[in-house]
Structure 1
Amino acid sequence: MNPRSTQTARPAKIAVTGVTKTFTLGRDRFVALDDVSLDIADNEFVTVVGPSGCGKSTLLNILAGLEEPTSGSALVDGVPVAGPGPERGVIFQQYALFPWLSVRKNVEFGLKIAGVPKKERRERADYFIDVVGLTDFADVLPKALSGGMRQRCAIARAYAVDPEILLMDEPFGALDALTRVKLQEQLLRAWGRERRTVLFITHDVDEAVFLANRVVVMASRPGRVFDVVEVDLPHLRTEEVRLSPEFTVLRNRVWNSVYHQEPGPAPSTTD
């Protein structure tokens, strides 16, 4: 299957072409990604789901500039990714907030480093704190926040530096089910207001379908694109959408793609 055959006609904001990534583990050579190609359009919300070890996080790390592909290319606006950049905000499962700084000061931090004047920093921070629903907690330290609220603070901090792209690696993975659902809805509201290009890694099929314009299903050993599922569900997505027959059909297709795959070969050796 050629994954680009299911892409939209819009120009690619992110273009991954023939990306292979191998790691050496002792005497073994492990292929984490094998000839992965994927285009993501400007302002598109794409989720990536797949079994453990399928290379989801490796793909995100390459786009974030934290890893280099062994072969192939990863482009943003036609320019090769050659390290981290301000146009790409990265959010991991760990919140990485400064515990001694308030919510507002955490959100302002990247702006301060960039030399944004104090008044503008405050205005931008307060705006994005409002976007993620934390206005009443702007002066609170992270230790007084729930896990979900800390993650919302991390999302506001990423938005505040005005990245064109958000790369999110299982940001809700450590949260309880109810908090996770609430944050999914909150994230979509923020995306609806601010419109960024989003690549969201998850191991949760329901989350992948609920959030996305398209779901990319990865296969493992070696990691590769197995399926691409268009998600034609209405926005704003609500509990009603989540419980709809249309959602169930899409969810079942993605579930079958993820969990009914034939296992790939074992890692090759260098001998």
Structure 2
Amino acid sequence: MTTTTSAKISVQEVRKTFPLKNEEFVALDGVSLDIADNEFVTVVGPSGCGKSTLMNILAGLETPTSGRALVDGKDVVGPGPERGVIFQQYALFPWLTVRKNVEFGLKVAGLGASERRERADYFIRIVGLEQFADALPKMLSGGMKQRCAIARAYAVNPSILLMDEPFGALDALTRVTLQEQLLDTWSREKRTVLFITHDVDEAVFLANRVVVMAARPGRIYDVIDVDLPYPRTEEARLSPEFAQLRNRVWHSVYHQAPGIAAGR
């Protein structure tokens, strides 16, 4: 089914429940959200608020109990090549080099060897792994593995990137570095991005908009515009404007009135 909409991603009154012993667990309840083409949206909230469930529905890995999830006006009915998914776990093939990992989706899509090599090398260069193109994943640090996963996702040319805490397992310095590199890649190779995180600073630093979710049941609590200019640097993190936005998001995440959305 197709619906006319200008949004790249549209979530319409989505409810998702799971059976739990003799009752049902409500993971999402009445979630609605539109994301524009090439917009970078981060989603933050307490554990159990349904962030990953929402992403899995958009990835086509889960189906809503009710409501609709649409991409380009069409209902999401399963995984699709227009949506690249990056998880916290790197999910690289350990027996393949960085280049072969990045080429994998292109090979499945039927591209010839020379075109695969050209596209893979381009995105390997963009994420700064040229010197490690022929290395196996076991030779890479955690940050390098995640950069390889990002290059692989970009290489198949999805219009949407769905990222579920991709930097969550990394140390603080590597995490900050990869945030800046991700924004640099996004500025050159625009995509619509939905980025799940637990980190308030990360949510503010990356996004055009921050979506704050609340738990029990999972719902949207607040949506906060981030009007900081790109490119964003360390100076932006130290600015009064960043601190003000961070404090607003922090307050929305950790001072929620149960069952009530902000502004309602």
TM-score with structure 1 setting the length: 0.93
SS of the residue corresponding to residue 12 of structure 1 reads: coil
Query: 1: CA distance between counterparts of 2:167 and 2:45?
Result: 16
Query: 1: CA distance between counterparts of 2:27 and 2:259?
Result: 12
Structure 1's unaligned 5+ residue stretches are: 1-9, 266-271
- 2:10 aligns with one of 7, 15, 35: 15
Query: 2: CA distance between counterparts of 1:264 and 1:46?
Result: 23
Counterpart position of 1:72:
67
Q: Is 2:187 the counterpart of 1:192?
A: yes
- 1:219 aligns with one of 208, 214, 217: 214
Moved over 3 A (4+): none
Counterpart position of 2:97:
102
Which has the higher mean CA deviation after the structures are superposed, 22-31 or 51-60?
22-31
Matches within 5 A, 1:21-40: 21-40=16-35
Shift of 1:264: 4.2
Counterpart position of 1:60:
55
Counterpart position of 1:179:
174
Structure 2's unaligned 5+ residue stretches are: none
1:157-180 CA-to-partner distances (Å, cap 9, x unmatched) read 000000000000000000000000
Query: 2: CA distance between counterparts of 1:169 and 1:119?
Result: 32
1:131-189 CA-to-partner distances (Å, cap 9, x unmatched) read 11111110111000000000000000000000000000000000000000000000000
Counterpart position of 2:45:
50
Cα RMSD (Å): 1.1
Amino acid at match of 1:103: V
Query: 2: CA distance between counterparts of 1:27 and 1:243?
Result: 50
Shift of 1:263: 3.2
Counterpart position of 1:244:
239
Pairs aligned (count): 256
Query: 2: CA distance between counterparts of 1:97 and 1:14?
Result: 27
1:228-264 CA-to-partner distances (Å, cap 9, x unmatched) read 0000001110000011000000000000000001234
SS of the residue corresponding to residue 247 of structure 1 reads: helix
Matches within 5 A, 1:81-96: 81-96=76-91
